[in-house]
Amino acid sequence: MEILHYSDAHKAFRRQLQSFIESHILPQADLWEANHIVPKEEWQRMGRSGFLCTAVAEAYGGRGGDFLYSAICTEEMAKTHQSGFMTLLHSDIVVPYIDTYGSDEQKQKYLPGCVNGDIITAVAMSEPDAGSDLASMTTTAVPDEDQVVVNGSKIFISNGINCDLVIIAAKDPAIENPHKALSLFLVEDGTPGFKKGNRLEKMGMHSQDTAELFFTNCRIPAANRLGGKGEGFIILMQKLQQERLVCSVWAQARTEHVLQWTIDYCHNTKKSGARLYDLQSVQFALAEMATDVRMSRCFVDKLVSDHIEKKNVMVETSMAKYRTSDMVNQVTGQCMDIVGREAINEDCPLAREWRDVRVMPIFAGTNEIMKGIIAKSLPQY
């Protein structure tokens, strides 16, 4: 069932990316996992090859591509057997804040580097005592003439070690309304008062550099505010549709990759003299998973199409984020059951996949929050 229509240019781009992945990512994935970080030069290599920030306009160094280019990048990177090279976060979640709300001066200064890989970005919202509830945020940004003084800390920041530029959410304590007090600011690595903590040791996604960030009397120019004063909450809400859609595309593609690997394994592996695939219980389990995955693909592709047409599908992307992130966990776990004890060995791709996907129902808004958004829409369902 074809919902999305890829042009010859899209198809050529996918083939080029697949070739790049084959040559430059797959051979190094295990090394990145062992070292718990992706070298910065690999970001530059990918950027200079044209695979970062594909939506950025040509005037700022990008290709000015539609969201299908982003979907292609997300899908192909989902098949690389690693989660550390978080290009989707950089290209399709963080940089769009600058691309949409940045001044021309900010765009000229930062976007070309984001496109070519010289600038790696991160977004800092979560705090030790404030996760999805932005109103509980305590990091402050106090105006001081032509500067802003930032104090506070952020935690679980993806790309936290590698980042050259951080979009930080902070509140003006003089404003009582927590939603109107929130603004976004651009903070460059090396700014006095900005310190990166140690890389966090996580259950999965080992090559993804997650860190705590500290801001102590960190002075930045007031011109580094992204968007208008007090518009931070609105800006974050307006970008959530794409963020959750990107996560859905990623989870969908990873599920398909895991299932296909397991199907191939069952075709090529014998137990007690017979192929695993010849067991009816295995056939039924694979058939059930394949049906769920195929139905989910139709829903996700329709949302990609709607998003390209600029439709408001916030509720539907919340559905997709919740369902696909749960699905990738369910399918990966069931595939491990089918493969058996070999699945727990580190040389089996499923072991790493299982660790890596566990966090997907938690980030980009927990699935409980997604269900709350969906529930509020049901009276009009």
125, 122, 5: which is closest to 66 by C-alpha? 5
Query: What top-level class would CATH report for the domain 239-380?
Result: mainly alpha
Predicted local confidence at residue 131, as pLDDT = 66
Number of helical (H) and strand (E) elements in the chain, helices listed first: 13, 10
Report the alpha-carbon distance of residue 8 to residue 6 in Å, rounded. 7
Q: How are beta strands 225-226 and 210-221 bridged, if at all? A: unpaired
Q: What is the pTM of this model?
A: 0.94
Query: What top-level class would CATH report for the domain 8-119?
Result: mainly alpha
Residue 64 identity (one-letter amino acid): G
Two tokens, residue 305: 């199409």
Active site residue 309: no
Report the alpha-carbon distance of residue 268 to residue 270 in Å, rounded. 7
Predicted local confidence at residue 128, as pLDDT = 87
Predicted local confidence at residue 381, as pLDDT = 61
Predicted local confidence at residue 203, as pLDDT = 94
Predicted local confidence at residue 290, as pLDDT = 98
Q: Hey, which residues does 196 pair with through a beta bridge?
A: 213
Report the alpha-carbon distance of residue 4 to residue 305 in Å, rounded. 6
Every domain of the chain with CATH number 1.10.540.10 lies at: 8-119
Predicted local confidence at residue 252, as pLDDT = 98
Every domain of the chain with CATH number 2.40.110.10 lies at: 123-228
253, 259, 255, 365: which is closest to 314 by C-alpha? 365
Choose which CATH entry (3.40.50.970, 1.10.540.10, 1.10.3470.10, 2.40.110.10) describes domain 123-228.
2.40.110.10
Q: What is the DSSP string of 284-344?
A: HHHHHHHHHHHHHHHHHHHHHHHHHTT---HHHHHHHHHHHHHHHHHHHHHHHHHHGGGGG
Report the alpha-carbon distance of residue 104 to residue 127 in Å, rounded. 30
Predicted local confidence at residue 226, as pLDDT = 96
Which positions of the chain have pLDDT values less than 50? none
Reduced to 3 states, what is the DSSP secondary structure of residue 202? coil
Angle at 162 between CA 159 and CA 166, to 5 degrees: 65
Q: Hey, which residues does 173 pair with through a beta bridge?
A: none
Predicted local confidence at residue 235, as pLDDT = 94
Tell me the residue ranges of DSSP E strands in the chain: 121-124, 140-144, 147-158, 165-171, 182-188, 194-199, 210-221, 225-226, 270-271, 274-275
Catalytic residue among 243, 256, 316, 353: 243
